[in-house]
Amino acid sequence: MKEVKIESTLQVFDSITELPEDIQELMSVAIEAREKAYAPYSKFNVGAAILLDNNEVVSGSNQENASYPSGLCAERTAIYYAGAKYPNSKMLKMALTASSQNQLTDKPIPPCGACRQAIAEYEIKQNLPIEIYFMGAKGKVVKSESLVNLLPLVFESSVL
């Protein structure tokens, strides 16, 4: 038996104003998307914005449904739209923001496990890391250089 240690390195920015200007802009698009979330059940709004290598920005928000599992997270709304609209472009950077309608969300909210798996698919497909920035409604912003930092031991298609 041997033990395997898995480590990830993330960067933490104190606030949105500490981010490089292009990421501040991308985060603003994510905030606009967040404000358009359809979240009448959870009251938890999430926005995502993705910068592509063709300079287009695709955004999305969570879309809920009375049949709860039929809803979709913001990250997958955005990434599937980007994949559908620009199938030959690479995704470079992704900004995420979440805000509860019930309380101040002042800590960074990472993407859920299912969204990490969806993001992994595109990172592997394009053979280029996707930078991911995530925050709450205010406060610190976390940067991951690649999805791999957020989902070690990813399940991927080479085993199929």
Beta-carbon neighbour count of residue 143 at 10 Å? 20
* Binding test (CB under 6 A) with ligand THU, winner from 112, 128, 155, 156: 112
In 3-state terms, what secondary structure has residue 86? coil
Q: Does 49 bind ligand THU (CB under 6 A)?
A: no
CA pair distance 92, 133, nearest whole angstrom: 11
Residue 82: both structure tokens together: 């980007």
Tokens 């205010």 belong to which residue?
Answer: 138
Nearer to ligand THU, 34 or 92 (CB): 34
* Nearest approach, Cβ of residue 115 and ligand THU (Å): 5
* Nearest approach, Cβ of residue 44 and ligand THU (Å): 4
Per CB under 6 A, contacts with ligand THU among 51-110 are 62, 64, 71, 73-75
Of the residues 21, 35, 56, 75, only one is catalytic, namely 75
Beta-carbon neighbour count of residue 97 at 10 Å? 31
